[in-house]
Amino acid sequence: MRHSADGRRADERRGADERLFQQTAHSPSYFELARRGGEGSEQVLDFCIPCNPYFPTPRMFEQLAGRLESILKFYPSDADTIAGQLARVLRLNPATIAMSNGSTELITWMDHLWVTESIAVPVPTFGRWTDQPLETGKRVDMLPLLESDAFELDVDRYVAFIRSRGSRAAVLCNPNNPDGGYLPSREVLRFVDELSDLDLVVIDESFIDFVDAEHAPSVAAEAALRPNVVVLKSLGKNFGLHGIRFGYLVANPGLAARMRRALPKWNLNALAEAVVFMLDEHLAEYRESLRLLRRDRFAMGVELARMPELSVFSSQANFLLVKLADGIDGSELRDHLLSRHGILVRECGNKLGMSNQFLRLVVRPAQDVAGLVEGIRDFLAYRRPSPEPRDPASLILRSISPDTGDRLREIPRPRPELRPTRRPN
């Protein structure tokens, strides 16, 4: 059990933690948790914020740290210079991109510029896609993704929904957050082509680099050839640098230029510039980080699926959605993991279209997953009465593999030997 420097047990801080989790539709920030938690809480094992744990490499962090003084002292270059370098590294046409201070900045500006009256959004998904247009008085047409379909998006059902509501704009997150569901690129293209009359169609590819279901999953190059399609990318998730706040969009040169004109001057900071100019030399390490992450995703899915109290949804993102068996309260589990094991998880009760029976767990290396599994087992042993374990055969996982396309596959789940671990005293 972890203790803070003043000798208080971590679970004695629980009141503050619970209030933090109820503040917004998002997770509390790491820094806020650390400030409230006192000394020692910086050691929290984070399964909450979907960040690449293998990139940047320790060597890159050393290089950045060595340059910190000049990075912080001087103005960065303008956004065109930084975006131009990003385009060179990622082999994109600079005329088709606009770079921002986090992709959330682009969601905000797209809403201001191009969402005129209504927007269709499948839920659950990233909360800003519903909250931003609601905050500016737009009508948000929410299509519920069904748990019975493993939250899979059916293109025909979504298009029919958009037509029936008369939505003027539409969003599709691929892979989706929080379930990691993935739509093959040919289906995404079919979707955008069905909707060529809309004001705007956004494909949010913030997690696309983690996909291994097909070789070239992004539709960014195709978006640039269409009049109303924008592909959105966050760089914080795949480059493991949420704190920097950088992202970009890809669209036809006319749309991209309108966005660049709308964005504030010097919206990108010098840390973002430093990282973008380092990337070229580190692309091999970046590709390796993605390989390791996909390996961990598979291993973590298998490990979690051994627990009969968890249903694990297969994912192409860097997180796994799990559902807790009936009778298990996700908020209690979240609080237990944080206070007794120093593990932070995302309980999804405050996400539209979810309940607190769902947790989103970020993919982490095997030794961290072992700690998580131990914490969950500890919680299950601690709470009474324990639930009837669900029949593993009833737990169908959605899986998309390169050769099977979008067909459903049942992943065999070994019946685990569930040993109660120590009870907290």
Q: How far is the CB of 223 from ligand PLP (least distance, A)?
A: 16
Nearer to ligand PLP, 133 or 236 (CB): 236
Q: Does residue 104 belong to the site contacting ligand PLP (CB under 6 A)?
A: yes
Nearer to ligand PLP, 242 or 377 (CB): 242
Nearer to ligand PLP, 37 or 236 (CB): 236
Q: With contact defined as beta carbons under 8 Å apart, do 207 and 81 qualify?
A: no
Work out which of 85, 218, 234, 316 binds ligand PLP, going by CB under 6 A: 234
Q: How far is the CB of 202 from ligand PLP (least distance, A)?
A: 10
Q: How far is the CB of 204 from ligand PLP (least distance, A)?
A: 5
Token pair belonging to 78: 């303008």
Q: Is the peptide bond before 389 cis (omega within 30 degrees of 0)?
A: no
Token pair belonging to 406: 């979008």
d(CA 227, CA 221): 13
Terminal-to-terminal C-alpha distance of the chain: 10
d(CA 124, CA 211): 20
Work out which of 41, 130, 177, 356 binds ligand PLP, going by CB under 6 A: 177
User: Parallel, antiparallel, or unpaired: how do β-strands 229-234 and 200-204 relate?
Assistant: parallel
Q: Which residues of 9-26 are buried (b: 16+ CB within 10 A; e: fewer)?
A: ebeebeeebeebbeeeee
Residue (of 65, 85, 60, 57) closest to 276 by Cα position: 85
Q: Does residue 316 belong to the site contacting ligand PLP (CB under 6 A)?
A: no
Hey, which residues between 191 and 210 contact ligand PLP (CB under 6 A)?
204, 206
Q: Does residue 217 belong to the site contacting ligand PLP (CB under 6 A)?
A: no
Q: Does residue 247 belong to the site contacting ligand PLP (CB under 6 A)?
A: yes
Hey, which residues between 8 and 47 contact ligand PLP (CB under 6 A)?
none
Nearer to ligand PLP, 242 or 334 (CB): 242
Long-range contacts of 295-300 (CB under 8 A, 24+ apart): 296/363, 296/364, 296/365, 296/366, 296/369, 297/210, 297/363, 299/366, 299/369, 300/361, 300/363, 300/364, 300/366, 300/369
Nearer to ligand PLP, 207 or 379 (CB): 207
* Segment near ligand PLP (CB under 6 A); pick from 80-88, 234-242, 268-276, 387-395: 234-242
* Segment near ligand PLP (CB under 6 A); pick from 69-77, 96-104, 250-258, 380-388: 96-104
Q: What phi, psi does 345 have (nearest 5°)?
A: -125, 160
Token pair belonging to 382: 């601690």
* Segment near ligand PLP (CB under 6 A); pick from 52-60, 101-109, 153-161, 334-342: 101-109
Nearer to ligand PLP, 152 or 204 (CB): 204
3-class secondary structure, 388: coil
Nearer to ligand PLP, 168 or 242 (CB): 242
Residue (of 192, 223, 186, 209) closest to 98 by Cα position: 223
Q: Which residue is nearest to ligand PLP (CB)?
A: 234
Nearer to ligand PLP, 103 or 267 (CB): 103
Q: Does residue 173 belong to the site contacting ligand PLP (CB under 6 A)?
A: yes
As beta bridge partners, residue 47 has: 345
* Segment near ligand PLP (CB under 6 A); pick from 51-59, 88-96, 99-107, 282-290: 99-107
* Segment near ligand PLP (CB under 6 A); pick from 13-21, 31-39, 58-66, 98-106: 98-106
Q: How far is the CB of 239 from ligand PLP (least distance, A)?
A: 10
Q: Does residue 52 belong to the site contacting ligand PLP (CB under 6 A)?
A: no
Work out which of 102, 124, 181, 301 binds ligand PLP, going by CB under 6 A: 102
d(CA 251, CA 232): 9
Nearer to ligand PLP, 247 or 308 (CB): 247
Going 213 to 93 to 200 to 272, the CA torsion angle's sign is positive
Counting residues that bind ligand PLP (by CB under 6 A) gives 12
Q: Does residue 103 belong to the site contacting ligand PLP (CB under 6 A)?
A: yes
Site string for ligand PLP, 125-154 (x = CB under 6 A): -x----------------------------
Nearer to ligand PLP, 101 or 314 (CB): 101
- Cα 345 to Cα 7, 150, 327, 390: the distances in Å are 24, 21, 19, 23
User: Parallel, antiparallel, or unpaired: how do β-strands 118-123 and 139-144 relate?
Assistant: parallel
Going 321 to 326 to 329 to 333, the CA torsion angle's sign is negative
Residue (of 136, 213, 139, 211) closest to 170 by Cα position: 139
Hey, which residues between 251 and 290 contact ligand PLP (CB under 6 A)?
none
- Where on the chain is the footprint of ligand PLP (CB under 6 A)? 102-104, 126, 173, 177, 204, 206, 234, 236, 242, 247
